[in-house]
Structure formats: C-alpha cells, structure tokens
Amino acid sequence: MQKPARKPVPEFKGNLRSNIIRVPESISSCSGIIILGKCIKSLLFSTDVAIIRNTNADAIIAVYPFTPQPIISHALILASDKPIFCGIGGGLTTGKRSLEIALDAEFQGALGVVLNKPAPNDLIEKLKRKLEIPVIVTVVSTDEDIQGRINAGVDIFNVSGAAQTETIVQKIRQINPDFPIIATGGKDDESINRTITAGANAITYTPPSTGELFKTIMNKYRQGGSY
C-alpha cells in the first residue's frame, strides 16, 4: 500500500518573534530520543536566556565551565519554554554536592542532568538510585570506558569529541547498537549528516553568540534598513 504524500506542516510565525535561531533542517532526519514522553531531536547548547527563548530547538543543554550553581539552573528552567538538561559537574564538583545539585534540578523541572567527563562511575550509580530523570554523561575521546559507564547505569551519552565525534559514536554503536546517543553535529549539514549516519539519535547545535547576531542587525541598521 502506497504511503500518502507528506503534507507541509502549518506554521505561525508572528511579527515580533519571527527572528529566531533555527537549528539546521538536516537534524530532523535523526531518530530522536523519547524522554518522559517528549521526542528530542535537536538540543541547543546555550545558557543565554535570550537565545533560549528564541529558538526552534526541541530542548536546551545548559552546561557551562564553572561550578554548577542551582540559582543558574532555576533561572534557566523558569525562563525557558523548552525542556532543560542541566549540568551538575562531575570533575571538581562531584560526589554528594553533584547529587544534591542533581536532585535540586529535578525538583525544579529539569528533564535530565549532565555529568562531565571526569565523573566517576560510582557517582552515576548514586544518581541512578535517587533520580527519576535521565543521567547523561559526556564522552570526549575514544579512550573512555564506555561499557563501564553503561554498567554503572548511565541513560544517555553526550558525545562531544570535536573531530573525533563520529568515531566515538561509531565505537559506542559497536558496543551497544541501541544505546541513546546525543552528539555534536558541527555547523553544516554535511557534518551533521555524517554524525547521524554514524549513529547519533539527537544532535547538539551551538548557536551564534549574541555579539555575532547583533553584528548582523547593526549592519542593517547602519545601512538604513530595519530588521
């Protein structure tokens, strides 16, 4: 039986909020990960509230290079109209403190928590005994003990390996063909498609900075136009 042709999806843009950050269309070809009933294909990597409020990404991955602070997670969860995955440390911030930050994030409404690379496996085990939301662990190289992380109970891998990302995704797929994987896809459709082909279920997209976005707008203003 022939499948019906795919119909275009109706869209309402509005006048004042039509200027948003759109994730690359190629991300829509990945399978997505269903988390507590929500299908997540695209994740925007940002802690900028203004950017978070103006994107069509399915979710936000809010990790940053400082000690995790609950007040930051609270602010992002409150301001966002998208699910938030909150960073809870794992390196310098670890153990009981990471566990308390994770519990606080869950109580505030986070859809998941993200541990960075140095997090020990016993911390993953402790988190899994306490949390209802998924525990996500970042993988940055091919040398990491993937099976050990899986045995500890990690729910999703977040692959952020720069040029090694595709190779890391392929390694995880060799160990476990069905394990949920989020991965950085790069800036263009070609690299995103390669990452999806390697086995990523969802793609993280890094948006332009506020300064870069302002540069485009200001150039138009200087030329006498409007945005």
For position 1, what pLDDT does the model report? 58
* pLDDT computed for residue 225 by the predictor: 62
What CA–CA distance (Å, rounded) separates 93 from 115?
A: 10
Q: Which two tokens stand for residue 207?
A: 């948006």
- pLDDT tens, position by position, for the chain (227 residues)? 566 766 777 878 777 677 789 999 999 999 999 999 999 999 999 999 999 999 999 999 999 999 999 999 999 999 999 999 999 998 777 788 999 999 999 999 999 999 998 899 999 999 999 999 999 999 999 999 999 999 999 999 999 999 999 999 999 999 999 999 999 998 899 999 999 999 999 999 999 888 888 787 787 777 776 65
What CA–CA distance (Å, rounded) separates 28 from 190? 14
| Burial class of residue 128 in the structure, from the number of CB atoms within 10 Å of its CB (0-12 exposed, 13-18 middle, 19+ buried) | middle
Provide the total of helices (H) and of strands (E) in the chain, helices listed first.
8, 10
Look-up: residue for tokens 């998924």?
134
Q: Rg for the chain (alpha carbons), in Å?
A: 19
- Domains of the chain, first to last: 29-207 (3.20.20.70)
pLDDT of res. 214: 79
